[in-house]
């Protein structure tokens, strides 16, 4: 069956390839006239390249309203479902792709995409998703009507506290709510470095920044901590400290940030009280004093994630930590893998696929982190499948 499928794929002509390219990138069927144009680009009858054909398909509004929305929406919620409503996280990613905003700023930029005022929607609000829900209900063309704004001008966050999609309302509602803000780091790693915490476990690093809420002898057995818990927390806790001033207030339905001069009633400092919960689990553990973060994963086995040597590996707050993650090789490679899966309808399965993902990653970085480049590269590779 596999050999038969491969034989058919090899015989796919320019028109069949054009159809696959359009179906997978735009997410909807094409007109016959458009297929003729794409086929001519693919077989060289018209001046241009296969990549030019892919970029032409990306001019279709459903590339934004269907393909990108379905791809991005799972990043915005813990259930990782594509059926969640349109929100500020999803809209911001779509806008960045459309405008060729360097995608390595996804986790750090002071920007937010909203629908233009002419559409008569409810205004953007920090405590409501009505703006985006109304846009989706009305079938607003996102390609035509998204506009870029500074996040710090639409919210009460100072510019230095904005961190791209990390500080969107949808992201805060999903990952800053309750808990200890470690969820924000975990899902950011899963969504944008393509790794959960388990593969990143390293028991050789210093445990000096592990918080008090982590028991050093769970169930009365210290070996569990030394052989398991420590592996995640040595790297996770120093990074998640970047989010120490953020919380999601469920009663107010909005992101909360402790700005300079704010004293949290529970912590007695700017640090959110959630960072001090369950302090009796191990009283000598680390007490978070501020939002200073350090990337312990630059050492040891996780150095393979390709950290940017031009960055220091430490700093204060979510913005600089977002720059650390967004400029890693793992971040760029993850975007390539996600687009490959979206367009080719499979994970990379062999050396040819893996080499293509590596080529896509290099092209993405060298082309200024333009996300559409990934779709052009994946589309030209998989249109014969």
Q: Within this chain, do residues 116 and 192 fall inside the same structural domain, yes or no?
A: no
Tens of pLDDT, residues 85-96: 999 999 999 999
How many beta carbons lie within 10 A of that of residue 191, not counting itself? 20
Terminal CA-CA length for the chain: 14
Decide which of 161, 192, 214 is a domain's last residue: 161
Q: Within this chain, do residues 237 and 296 fall inside the same structural domain, yes or no?
A: yes
Rounded Cα distance between 195 and 243, Å, is 20
Domain assignment present for residue 196? The answer is yes
19 within 8 A of 50, measured Cβ to Cβ:
no
Q: Within this chain, do residues 191 and 289 fall inside the same structural domain, yes or no?
A: yes
Domain assignment present for residue 255? The answer is yes
Tens of pLDDT, residues 3-37: 323 333 445 799 999 999 999 999 999 999 999 99
C-alpha distances (whole Å) from 35 to each of 15, 55, 375, 379 are: 6, 14, 18, 15
Domain assignment present for residue 295? The answer is yes
Say what percent of the chain tops pLDDT 90: 96
**Residue 248 pLDDT class (50, 70, 90 cuts):** very high
DSSP state of 364: H
Domain assignment present for residue 206? The answer is yes
Domain assignment present for residue 63? The answer is no
Q: What is the mean pLDDT of the chain?
A: 96
Domain assignment present for residue 91? The answer is yes
Decide which of 272, 287, 318 is a domain's last residue: 318
Residue 15 is part of which domain span? Answer: 2-57+330-382
Rounded Cα distance between 297 and 132, Å, is 37
Q: Within this chain, do residues 118 and 232 fall inside the same structural domain, yes or no?
A: no
**What pLDDT is recorded for position 12?**
77
Residue whose pair of structure tokens reads 């899963």 in the numeric block: 190
Rounded Cα distance between 359 and 186, Å, is 27
pTM here? 0.95
Task: Give the pairing type, strands 146-149 and 246-249.
Answer: unpaired
Q: Within this chain, do residues 194 and 307 fall inside the same structural domain, yes or no?
A: yes
Q: Within this chain, do residues 341 and 239 fall inside the same structural domain, yes or no?
A: no
Q: Mean pLDDT over residues 132-139, rounded? A: 98
**Residue 56 pLDDT class (50, 70, 90 cuts):** very high
Residue 163 has pLDDT above 50, yes or no: yes
Residue 180 has pLDDT above 80, yes or no: yes
Q: Within this chain, do residues 190 and 289 fall inside the same structural domain, yes or no?
A: yes
Q: Within this chain, do residues 201 and 299 fall inside the same structural domain, yes or no?
A: yes
176 within 8 A of 332, measured Cβ to Cβ:
no
Rounded Cα distance between 382 and 385, Å, is 5
Rounded Cα distance between 24 and 287, Å, is 50
Domain assignment present for residue 66? The answer is no
Q: Which long-range contacts (CB under 8 A, 24 or more apart) does 99-102 make?
A: 99/148, 100/368, 100/370, 100/371, 100/372, 101/148, 102/368, 102/369, 102/370
Q: Within this chain, do residues 39 and 86 fall inside the same structural domain, yes or no?
A: no
Domain count, the chain: 3
Q: What is the DSSP string of 48-105?
A: S-HHHHHHHHTTSHHIIIIIIHHHHGGGGSTT--TTSPP-HHHHHHHHHHHTT--GGG
- The residue length of the chain stands at 385
Domain assignment present for residue 171? The answer is no
Q: Within this chain, do residues 147 and 240 fall inside the same structural domain, yes or no?
A: no
Q: Within this chain, do residues 200 and 284 fall inside the same structural domain, yes or no?
A: yes
Tens of pLDDT, residues 283-332: 999 999 999 999 999 999 999 999 999 999 999 999 999 999 999 999 99
Q: Within this chain, do residues 186 and 240 fall inside the same structural domain, yes or no?
A: yes
């Amino acid at each position: 069956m596999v050999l038969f499928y491969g034989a058919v794929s090899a015989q796919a002509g320019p028109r069949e390839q054009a159809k696959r390219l359009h179906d997978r990138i735009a997410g909807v069927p094409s007109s016959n006239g458009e297929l003729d144009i794409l086929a001519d680009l693919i077989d060289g009858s018209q001046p241009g390249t296969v990549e030019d054909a892919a970029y032409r398909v990306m001019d279709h509004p459903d590339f934004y309203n269907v393909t990108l929305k379905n791809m991005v929406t799972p990043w915005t919620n813990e259930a990782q479902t594509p059926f969640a409503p349109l929100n500020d996280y999803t809209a911001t990613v779509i806008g960045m792709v459309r405008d060729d905003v360097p995608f390595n700023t996804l986790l750090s930029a002071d920007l937010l995409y909203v629908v233009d005022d002419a559409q008569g929607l409810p205004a953007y609000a920090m405590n409501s998703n009505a703006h985006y829900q109304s846009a989706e209900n009305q079938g607003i063309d996102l390609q035509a009507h998204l506009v870029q704004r500074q996040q710090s001008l639409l919210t009460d966050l100072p510019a230095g506290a904005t961190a791209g999609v990390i500080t969107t309302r949808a992201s805060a509602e999903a990952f800053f709510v309750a808990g200890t803000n470690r969820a924000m780091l975990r899902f950011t790693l899963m969504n944008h470095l393509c790794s959960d915490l388990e593969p990143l476990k390293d028991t050789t690093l210093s445990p000096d920044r592990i918080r008090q809420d982590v028991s050093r002898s769970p169930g009365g057995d210290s070996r569990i901590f030394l052989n398991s818990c420590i592996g995640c927390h040595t790297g996770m806790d120093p990074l998640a400290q970047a989010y120490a001033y953020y919380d999601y207030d469920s009663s107010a339905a909005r992101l909360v940030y402790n700005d300079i001069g704010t004293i949290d009633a529970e912590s007695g400092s700017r640090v959110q009280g959630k960072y001090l919960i369950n302090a009796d689990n191990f009283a000598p553990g680390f007490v978070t004093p501020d939002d200073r973060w350090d990337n312990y994963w630059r050492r040891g086995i996780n150095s393979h994630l390709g950290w940017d040597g031009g960055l220091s590996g430490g700093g204060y707050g979510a913005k600089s930590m977002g720059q650390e993650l967004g400029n890693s090789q793992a971040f760029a490679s993850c975007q390539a893998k996600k687009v490959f899966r979206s367009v080719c309808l499979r994970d990379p399965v062999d050396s040819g696929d893996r080499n293509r993902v590596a080529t896509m990653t290099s092209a993405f970085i060298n082309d200024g982190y333009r996300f559409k480049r990934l779709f052009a590269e994946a589309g030209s590779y998989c249109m014969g499948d």
